[in-house]
Amino acid sequence: MSLANVEITKRGIDAFNRRDVEALAEVVTPDFEWFPALPSTVEGERFSGYRGREGIETYFDDVRSTWQELRVLGNEFRDLGDSVVLLGRADGRGRGSRVEVDMPLGVIYDFREGKISRVRTHLDHGEALRAAGLAE
């Protein structure tokens, strides 16, 4: 198993947890697409995602305005060649409510030419595995 994509994924997660646009931009393609689970869940409709560097900046601004804290924690990484599946958790605290959240998180990181080209997030491990073409 090649660990290169897993290491890039971990760098991306670290950049997300620090809200470091520069560090994340280094590991993603220019046409990067990001589909976080929470906007679709909260808004109750299909979210069209964030795109490119501008999308990263917008998403980080959205996270900062909604969450006092929000971290992705990876428990298991599955390297599938052109993608990596993360099974882990997200924990955080709402900005206004101060409610603590600890929820399962399954994330699919798609790769192209050694960089992350798309991220698809699910709030259920089984759902993420199915979306990646794997059985639970």
Per-residue pLDDT of the chain (136 residues), as tens digits, is: 456 999 999 999 999 999 999 999 999 999 999 999 865 444 445 567 899 999 999 999 999 999 999 999 999 999 999 999 999 999 999 998 999 999 999 999 999 999 999 999 999 999 999 999 997 6
Round to whole Å and give the CA distance between 136 and 133. 10
DSSP code, position 12: H
Say whether domain 4-131 belongs to CATH 3.10.450.50.
yes
Round to whole Å and give the CA distance between 23 and 12. 7
Round to whole Å and give the CA distance between 26 and 28. 6
Count Cβ neighbours within 10 Å for each residue of 87-98 and write b for 16 or more, e otherwise. Answer: bbbbebeeeeee
Round to whole Å and give the CA distance between 80 and 75. 16
pTM across the whole model:
0.91
Give me 44's structure tokens: 């109750």
